[in-house]
Every structure is written in structure tokens, then in C-alpha cells.
Amino acid sequence: MKKKLVVLSGAGVSAESGIKTFRDAGGLWEGHDVMEVASPEGFRKNPSLVLDFYNQRRRQLFEVQPNKAHYIIAELEQDFDITVVTQNVDDLHERAGSSNVVHLHGELLKARSVNSYDSFDWKGDIHLGDLHTDGHQLRPHIVWFGEAVPAIPDAVSVVEKADIVIVIGTSLQVYPAAGLIDYASPKAMVYYIDPNPAPIHNLRNPLEVLAMPGSEGMQKVKDKLNG
Ligand code: OAD
């Protein structure tokens, strides 16, 4: 039976594809305070700005490609039973070939009504006044700060069963996502790939930190796992 491997990915895994991370540019995300464009308060205050911000992110997604880190993660499915638990709202893991991806913070290519959690595929822009058939405004299917993270129980369950955990490209600042590694079985090996790794305290597990970009780090981890 294949060993179970969980990849916990954040914005850094998509950095080499040309998508900006959240906290590497002095706290600004594409020129905006994160709370302005990623919170229900921000959406209430200026819905057009928030919708337009995600319209731009969605359009950008069609211009970027998965990078070597995404591809290595997908290739490892040949030898491991892999679940990718990502904080990212892009679809680059799927496009690289990963078949089992849990999106903790939603997906840019999905929309929903402001009145419901039921999401559906959506590739175009969303404008103020675009209504769901339920009569309510459409919004991006993104989990904003302060909102529930419905995928967390599934994510906890896969992390608990993992033999190996790879944490890649996350500053480990946003909870509950950042707390997922604490659910790993104490025997599970944990690799953390990030050029500027956050300190990890009180982890019961064997831990190897690879302070380098995602593509290089994934190549090294792949060599270790195959060796
Ligand atoms: P952050 O922007 O907080 O952290 C990105 C991490 O990627 C940092 O630790 C960088 O050092 C690292 N990094 C930069 N370049 C890299 C590269 N080439 N390879 C690998 N790593 C690299 O992003 P997240 O931790 O993902 O939530 O942020 C978590 C959440 O905060 C996001 O999902 C988003 C945000 O607000 C919502 O929008 C709800």
C-alpha cells in the first residue's frame, strides 16, 4: 500500500508562477490592505472594489502556469497516496495534475450567492448587480477573514492519517490553516519548504526545514523520498 503524504501549501508554492504572495510586499496584496479585499467588512464597505479585485486575480490566473513545485507534487502521486490541502485559491495544483486537492480558502474559479455556501464553476468577471437565481448578489467563492472554514474537518482527518507531511510556501500566520500540522501523528516526518521559514514551536514530529524556493525544495524532498 502506498504511504500517505499530505502537502500543506500556501501562496509561496505559486510564487514562481508569478502570483504574488500576501505578506512578502510589506503587508500589501497587489497594492491593497488584505482586510480591505479579503474580509466581509471590506466587501460591505466597497463591494465593487472587492469584486473587481477578484476579477483581476481570476483574469491573471488564465495567464500563469503551474511551476516545477506543483508538477513534482503531482508526479509524487505515482509513489504516494497524496492529498494537497492548500490555502491557495488558484487552480495550479489541479492543472499540474494533482487529483486530490482540498481548498481551505475557496477557489477563484467558483462563485456563490451571498446568501448560500453552495458554490458553482465560474470563469468570468462578477459585477455588482449580478444576481444568483435566488435573487441575491453573486460573490467569489473565497473564504474571507472572520468567515468559517468549512473544509477544516476534512483537512484535519487527512493530516491525522499522514505518514509524511510537506508544508510549502506558507508563513503559517493564518489560522486555522496554520494549526493543521499539530494534528500530524507524532511519527510522521514533516518537511517545511520556504525561503523565509516561520519558526515552528512545540512540534512533536521529526522536522526538516528547507529554506529555499518551492521548486528547489520539492526536488530535494522528492530525491529524499525516492532515495
Ligand atoms: P503568505 O503571503 O503569508 O506567505 C507566503 C510564504 O511564501 C512566505 O513564508 C514566503 O517566505 C514564502 N515564499 C515566497 N516565495 C516563495 C517561493 N518561491 N517558494 C516557496 N515559498 C515562497 O501566504 P500564506 O501563508 O499562504 O487568505 O497566507 C495565508 C492566507 O493569508 C492566504 O490563504 C490568504 C491570506 O490572507 C485569505 O485570502 C483568506
pLDDT digits (tens, 9 = 90+) for 54-102: 999 999 999 999 999 999 999 999 999 999 999 999 999 999 999 999 9
Strand 207-210 relative to strand 189-193: parallel, antiparallel, unpaired?
A: parallel
pLDDT-derived band at 28 (thresholds 50, 70, 90) equals low
Q: How many domains is the chain built from?
A: 2
Q: Which residue, 86, 132, 133, is CA-closest to 107?
A: 86
Is 93 a known active-site residue?
Answer: no
* Residue 133: alpha-carbon gap to chain centroid: 29
Q: Which residue, 139, 172, 140, is CA-closest to 9?
A: 172
Strand 138-142 relative to strand 106-113: parallel, antiparallel, unpaired?
A: antiparallel
pLDDT-derived band at 27 (thresholds 50, 70, 90) equals low
Q: CB within 6 Å of ligand 1 — which residues?
A: 10-12, 15-16, 21-24, 34, 38, 87, 105, 143-145, 169-171, 173-174, 194-196, 213-214
Task: Supply the pTM of this predicted model.
Answer: 0.96
Q: Are residues 71 and 43 both part of a single domain?
A: no
Given the residues 105, 127, 136, 141, select the one marked as catalytic.
105
Which residue of 8, 9, 23 sits with most ligand 1 atoms within 8 Å of its CB, as the best mutation to test the pocket?
Answer: 23
**Residue 112 placed within a domain:** no
Is a pLDDT exceeding 80 seen at residue 26? no
Range of the structural domain that residue 182 is part of: 1-19+66-105+147-227
Q: Are residues 9 and 85 both part of a single domain?
A: yes
Q: Distance between CA atoms of 1 and 22, rounded to whole angstroms?
A: 38
Q: Distance between CA atoms of 32 and 159, rounded to whole angstroms?
A: 33
* Lowest-confidence region among 104-108, 135-139, 144-148: 144-148
CA distances from 175 to 35, 67, 149, 185, 218 (A): 15, 26, 10, 19, 24
Q: Is the distance from CB of 73 to CB of 57 less than 8 angstroms? A: no
